[in-house]
Amino acid sequence: MPINKDKIAKRQEIKEHNPDFERPESWRYVRLQTGWRKPKGIDHHQRKQWSRGRPGLVKVGFGGPKDARGLHPSGFTDNLVYNLDDLAKLDPKKDGVRLGHSVGTRKRKEIVTKAIEQKFKIFNARVSASGSKS
């Protein structure tokens, strides 16, 4: 059962009312991805909002609720862990674990084993507790 269900639902409800922000001119050129990039030109039509049909700009007011920021979709907080000391500072009831990219296989196995013992939610284990790669 996911924790913080009400916070995630509130975040989703607010997100539904926000526009889908698209990169300017991405609908015009295939080479441009749709992910948001701020228009920075001095005469850029979208930055100046010259016509009503232009998509909106990302602004501070479109943010989600403060208490739901940093939550993983599962409801746990998303925490980067690089060693066992980082793991010791977390609470398994509310904190999830994401292992750092630079953590090697040997230390990764140790952290995963300890996290499973303490019943942490692991987002990117890449190693099973028994030691074989999954």
Residue 108 has pLDDT above 70, yes or no: yes
81, 87 Cβ separation under 8 angstroms: yes
pLDDT at 104: 92
Residue 83 has pLDDT above 90, yes or no: yes
Give the pLDDT mean for 110-118.
95
Query: In whole angstroms, what is the distance from residue 79 CA to residue 115 CA?
Result: 13
Give the pLDDT mean for 14-35.
93
Q: Report pLDDT digits (tens) over 26-78.
A: 999 999 999 999 999 999 888 888 877 888 889 999 999 999 998 999 999 99
End-to-end CA distance of the chain, in Å?
A: 25
Instruction: Provide, rounded to the nearest whole percent, the portion of the chain with pLDDT above 70.
Output: 93
> What predicted TM-score, i.e. pTM, was given to this entire model?
0.73
| Other beta carbons less than 10 A from residue 85's beta carbon | 8
Reduce the DSSP state of residue 45 to 3 states and report it: helix
97, 87 Cβ separation under 8 angstroms: yes
State the burial class of residue 41 (Cβ atoms within 10 Å of its Cβ: 0-12, 13-18, 19+): exposed
Q: Which amino acid is located at 4 in the chain?
A: N
- Tokens read off for 86: 């980082």
Q: Where are the domains of the chain?
A: 19-62, 77-122
